[in-house]
Structure formats: C-alpha cells, structure tokens
Structure 1
Amino acid sequence: MRYTLPLERITLSDYQQLLLKQNLLPGRRILLEQLEARFAMLCDQGLTTVAQLAAALSSPNKLSSLAAATGIPEEYLTILRRELGSLSQKPVPLSDFPACSPAQIRSLAEESIRTSKEYWERGGATQDELFSLCDLVRINGVGAVAARAFYEAGYSSVAAVANAAAAGMLKRVSAVNAEKSYYKAKLGEKDMQFCIDYAKLLVAYS
C-alpha cells in the first residue's frame, strides 16, 4: 500500500469522473468544457493512465505536440497539467496537527519521523490517533486541521471516508467545526463528495 495514489494505475476514465465531481477553483473550471470529448481525444493518442498523461504534459514542447495532435487548446492542457499536480498529496508536518501530544511529536522527531508520510509508512501496530490523522491527509485537499475535524466527527480513516454519505458527513464535520473552529472555509456537500470519491480511489488502488 502506498501513501499516495499510484498514478500509473489511475485510468483517465476514473480521473475524468473525479474532475466532474470536484469543486474546482474558478481558474480551473475550464477543464469541464468539452471534458468527455477532450479526454476521448487524449485516449486516441494512446494515453490511458494519469501517469501517461502527466508525462505527455511534462514539458512545454511535449504539451505543444499533444495540443497539435489532438486539437485541444494549449491553455486547456496547461491548466490540466497544473490540476494533475494536485493529485499527489504532499506530506504534512506532524507538528501541524492540532491537539496532538507535543511530547509524542518530539519523541518521533528524535527518531527522524517528522511528517505524515513517514509516520504512516511506519504503520504496523502503531495505528493510534496520530496514525488516523496521517491517513486522512492522504485525501486530496484535506490538510491537518480538516483531518482533525474529520477524525472528531467519527471518520478515523480513508476507508471510513470512502464509506460515508456526503450529506451526513457534512453535517457531522460542520458540527465539530462549529464547536472547535478548526477552519474558516465554508464547505458544502460537493466538497465532502469529492473527499469521498478520492478516498474511494485510494482504497481501490491500494
């Protein structure tokens, strides 16, 4: 099992569905324009996985060549490349998690374990609260404070999020945040559904 999604195994079809359900930033909503047709064009070029697509967009020359071969605007492919970059979650410093034991964080640092990835990969029998938080930040868009809110709302793992219902999850997470004020962002059902769908990918491709 890997900390991040194995991009070489994620199909373009799966990624297309993820984009459709994601609450994209305003500057990236262009990706939804002719999404099905444009992804079909990419598949016609022999690109079947996210890793292959990322490689095909990895340099300006490659991006231009793909644009010429498919007729997809370079602007669209440039934004797609940026969005692809968000698929791999960066490790979170353990010290960023709210309400965790400072003594535990210091002790782990002495063992050169300082990030969510390092603690998660140690795994094994050490599946405590901190492990749960490290598991939750594997979900795209979930940072340290959101992970704490998810955990206190009863979602202690990626698998728990994958099995959640968006409306119920939003209600429980919002109730925790209303009490603890972990984050200021106003989340909706679409945000919860994206987390659920991403968690399902992590489970499916683990």
Structure 2
Amino acid sequence: MGYYIDLEKITIDDYRIKLESAYLPPSRMILKEKLDERFGYLKSIGIKNVKGLIQLLKKKDKFTELSKVDCLSGDYLTILLRELNSTLPKPNKLADFIGISKNTIDKLEKIGIKNTEELYGKVIKKSDRKELADSTGIDYQDILELTKLTDLSRIKWVGVTYAQILYDLGVDTVERVSKSAPVDLHTRVNQFIKEKNIFKGQIGLNDIKILIEAATEIPLEIEY
C-alpha cells in the first residue's frame, strides 16, 4: 500500500461494478452506458486491471485504435481516462496550505519534503511523526496537522482548499470523511464556505457523495 490506491489490485470487473453504482458528475455519466459491452471488449483484448487499462489508454496509437471500435469512441475513452486518472490525485504542495508557517515548510523542504506524497511515508505511525518532529525541530502538533492534511489529500479531487475546509470542520482524516453522512457534511461544508467567504457558490450534494465514496476506497494506513 502507500499514498495511492494500488490500481493493479482493481480488476476490470471490479471497476465495471464500481462505475455501475458510482456517483458521477453529469459530464461523466456516459461511463455508465454500455458497461457490459465496453468492459467485455476490454477484457477480451487482455486488459486485466485498472493499471493496465490506464497504461493502454495513455499510448496514443492504442487509444486511436480503440476509438475505432464500435462500442467505444474517442470521447468515451477520453472521459474514461480522466476518471481513471482522478484515482491518482496530484499531490498537494505543503507550502500552499494556509496556517502552516514558512519556518516549518523550510525545515521540511531542507530534507526533501515538498508535497503530501513525499511527507506521507514519514508520518504513518505516531513514532514516525515524533521522529520527524525531533529530527527537524518542528512542533509535533504542526506535524500532526500536516499529516491529516496529507491524509485528506489522498482523496480524489481534494485540493489544498478542500482539504483545509474538511480539516477545519474536524472531518480531518480519510476515515472520518468515509463515515460522514452526505446531507450533514454538505450542510456543514457550505455553511463554512459562506461564513468564511472562501469562494462564491456552493459544493453540490452529489459532489459530497463522490467525496465520501472516494474516501471509502482508500486504505486506512495512517495511525492516529
């Protein structure tokens, strides 16, 4: 296990079943269409797992070849690849989190830690966090805060701002997100956004459902 989900362990059949019941934004609802036919074809050409599917779709010649198959299309494959890639979210830069002092960031950067993926392996156990705090001179509570922000950053579509909102609400770990009630979290998140004037508009209920569903798929490795 690690920062990311092990995509090699997700079979094509598992992913098809996941898409069947997944909460998806309107722009990706095409992924629910012709599931048996499309994934049956992908299996027939030897694709066994999600990792293999991503690798195949990233090859331009293979992508072009697949887009000519009757049950597939370029538009469908493009959206499928976007959805697949979202399971491997880009790490958040530690320096972008508000409330973390420049001194703390500088100390971490000095030992080669600039983003959440790089920090992850150093904070999994409490003893790891204590060792990092002792070796860098960073306060343990600051390390713990960054640990939780790192944990939240493992969820797809959770950028710096979203992670900070969840942390400030006390929904500060992957496990707590996964156990949240959608309607309650939706209300709390949008109330917080409005009160703090973080941005205009609201996060939709479906987006919250996607967040919670994504959190349930992430291994709970960090010990608190």
- Could you say which TM-score interval applies, normalised by the shorter chain? 0.7 to 0.9
Q: How many residues align?
A: 204
Within the alignment, does 1:164 sit opposite 2:180 as a pair? yes
Q: In the TM superposition, what are the counterparts of 1:109-124 in structure 2 within 5 Å?
A: 109-123=109-123, 124=125
Q: Report the TM-score, using the length of structure 2 for normalisation.
A: 0.79
Counterpart CA distance in 1 for 2:192 and 2:19 is: 27
Partner of residue 138, structure 2: none
Change in 2 beyond 3 A, CA 1:183/1:48: farther
Q: Deviations over 1:124-154 (max 9, x none)?
A: 3226111101110111001111101111112
Cα RMSD of the aligned pairs, angstroms, is: 2.5
Q: Could you say what secondary structure the match of 2:121 adopts?
A: helix
Distance (Å, rounded) in 2 between the aligned partners of 1:204 and 1:10: 17
Does structure 2 retain, via aligned residues, the 8 Å contact 1:146–1:183?
no
Task: Give the corresponding residue for 2:166.
Answer: 150
User: Structure 1 CA distance, aligned partners of 2:19 and 2:207?
Assistant: 12
Residues 1-206 of structure 1 aligned to structure 2 (within 5 Å): 1-16=1-16, 17-18=18-19, 20-24=22-26, 26=27, 28-67=28-67, 71-123=71-123, 124-125=125-126, 126=129, 128-203=144-219
Residue of structure 1 in register with 2:139 after alignment: none
Structure 1 stretch displaced more, 9-18 or 43-52: 9-18
TM-score by length of 1: 0.85
Give the structure with higher Rg (CA).
Answer: 2
| C-alpha distance in structure 2 between counterparts of 1:32 and 1:185, whole Å | 28
Kept in 1, the 8 Å contact 2:153–2:163? The answer is yes
Secondary structure at 1:91 match in 2: coil
1:29-49 deviation line (CA, Å, top 9, x unaligned): 433332343223323434232
Identity percentage of aligned residues: 32
